[in-house]
């Protein structure tokens, strides 16, 4: 079935939409309070509009710019009020989300700025030591080989070589790393290499071949520094950030529970 030509005319669409809106208004907007159709942009409101401009552009608006901003404000206000009258705010997922977000911000805004006491922070540190634990760190030397055989051959004479570092093939990898975290080691040498180091005992001897996504390595794993929790003084600001993050989450949840408790909710099965 095809639509007749007139049904495709934009003018017809416009008229139809207009009639629908008119009908809606006639039905819902019958007893409009005349005050609600009055928009007064008083000096205070103008100052507010100017302030927003200034906050964005870091300078006061010119007269022409302020006029434009006020016009925009009036346009938004008219459309906003009419939208409310039509009930367009109802059931709008974005409006719902924004309102809910505002409630969350209300509940947690104080936690953003309050200065926690030393005791509070120490207690938080004692309760969550693992949150502040350092990464495992590695100190090692390594030689790279394109294939496994080359690495195995070099292993037979690496301990007696004058300069072990001359034995590996050339590649853009650091021959030695000093107290490098497992994250950075994985960034440089790949996850496979870092995982394969788990099988090695630290010592002064060359071991391997250790496989990686890049090829094969002989490794002198000098130190593997296990993860530990640093003293409070060294991580104080981390503790504060962590405390604040958790406190904000808790306040949002508490505020929500307060409100939630006053609702009777049934979910039909």
Partner 1 sequence: MHKQAKQYFLLGAVTFALAACSQGVDTDQQGTGEGTIELAEFPDRPYWGDTHLHTDNSIDAFGFGVRLGPEEALMFASGQEATATTGMRAKLARPLDFLVISDHSDGLGATRRLYDAPRLGVVAMGDETMLRWYDMMHESPEQSQRAIGELITAAANGTLPEAMTSNPEEQDAATAEIWGAHLKMLDRYNKPGKFTAFAGFEYSLMPDGNNLHRVVMFRDGLNRTGQVLPYPGINSDVEGLWDYMLAYEQVTGGQVLAIPHNSNLSNGLMFELTMPGGGPITAEYARKRAAAEPVVEVTQIKGDSEAHPFLSPNDEMAGFGVKGWELGNLPLTRETTNDMLAGNYIREALKRGLSLEEQLGVNPYAFGMIGSTDSHTSLATGDEDNFYGKHTGNEPSYQDRALQGQNLGTRIGRFGWHYLAGGYAAAWARGNTRAEIFDAFQRREVYATTGPRMTVRLFGGFDFSEADWDGDWVRAGYTRGVPMGGELEDRGNAPTFLISALKDPDGANLDRVQVVKGWVDSSGELQERVYDVSWSDMDKRSRVGGKVPAVGDTVDRATATYTNDIGAAELRTAWTDPDYVEGQRAFYYVRVIEIPTPRWTLFDAVRFGIKLPEDPMADAVAQERAYSSPIWLKPAPPAITEQQ
As measured in angstroms, the least distance from the Cβ of 261 to partner 1 is 7
User: How far apart are alpha carbons 140 and 161 in whole angstroms?
Assistant: 18
As measured in angstroms, the least distance from the Cβ of 184 to partner 1 is 8
User: How far apart are alpha carbons 191 and 37 in whole angstroms?
Assistant: 65
As measured in angstroms, the least distance from the Cβ of 98 to partner 1 is 7
Q: What is the DSSP string of 83-130?
A: HHHTTTTTT-HHHHHHHHHHHHHHHHHHHHH----HHHHHHHHHH-GG
- Give the interface with partner 1 as residue ranges (CB under 8 A): 45, 48-49, 51-52, 55-59, 72-73, 76, 80, 93-94, 97-99, 101-102, 105-112, 114, 146, 170-173, 183-184, 186-193, 212-215, 238, 241, 244-245, 251, 254-255, 258-259, 261-263
As measured in angstroms, the least distance from the Cβ of 260 to partner 1 is 10
Q: Which residue's CB is nearer to partner 1, number 51 or number 127?
A: 51
Q: Which residue's CB is nearer to partner 1, number 12 or number 171?
A: 171
As measured in angstroms, the least distance from the Cβ of 157 to partner 1 is 23
Q: Which residue's CB is nearer to partner 1, number 125 or number 189?
A: 189
For the chain, what is the largest distance between any 2 Cα atoms, rounded to a whole number of angstroms?
A: 99
User: How far apart are alpha carbons 232 and 238 in whole angstroms?
Assistant: 9
Q: Which residue's CB is nearer to partner 1, number 67 or number 254?
A: 254
User: How far apart are alpha carbons 12 and 17 in whole angstroms?
Assistant: 9
Q: Phi, psi (5° rounding) for residue 186?
A: -70, -35
């Amino acid at each position: 079935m095809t639509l007749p030509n007139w049904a495709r005319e934009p003018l017809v669409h416009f008229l139809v939409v207009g009639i629908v809106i008119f009908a809606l208004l006639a039905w819902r907007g019958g007893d409009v309070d005349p005050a609600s159709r009055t928009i007064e942009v008083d000096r205070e409101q103008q100052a507010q509009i100017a302030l927003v401009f200034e906050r964005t552009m870091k300078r006061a608006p010119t007269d022409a710019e302020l006029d434009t901003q006020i016009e925009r404000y009036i346009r938004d206000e008219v459309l906003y009020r009419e939208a409310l009258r039509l009930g367009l705010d109802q059931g709008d997922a974005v409006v719902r989300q924004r309102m809910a977000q505002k409630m969350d911000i209300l509940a947690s805004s104080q936690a953003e700025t309050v200065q926690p006491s030393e005791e509070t922070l120490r207690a938080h540190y004692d309760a969550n030591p693992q949150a502040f634990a350092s990464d495992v760190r590695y100190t090692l030397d390594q030689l790279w080989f394109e294939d496994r055989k080359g690495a195995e051959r070099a292993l037979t004479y690496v301990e007696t070589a004058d300069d072990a570092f001359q034995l590996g093939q050339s590649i853009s990898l650091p021959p030695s790393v000093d107290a490098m975290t497992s994250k950075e080691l994985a960034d440089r040498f790949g996850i496979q290499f870092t995982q394969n180091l788990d099988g090695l005992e630290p010592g002064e001897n060359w071991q391997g071949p250790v496989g990686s996504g890049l090829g094969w390595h002989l490794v002198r794993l000098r130190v593997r520094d296990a993860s530990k929790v640093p003293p409070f003084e060294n991580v104080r600001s981390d503790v504060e950030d962590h405390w604040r993050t958790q406190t904000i989450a808790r306040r949002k949840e508490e505020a929500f529970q307060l409100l939630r408790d006053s609702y009777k909710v049934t979910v039909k099965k």
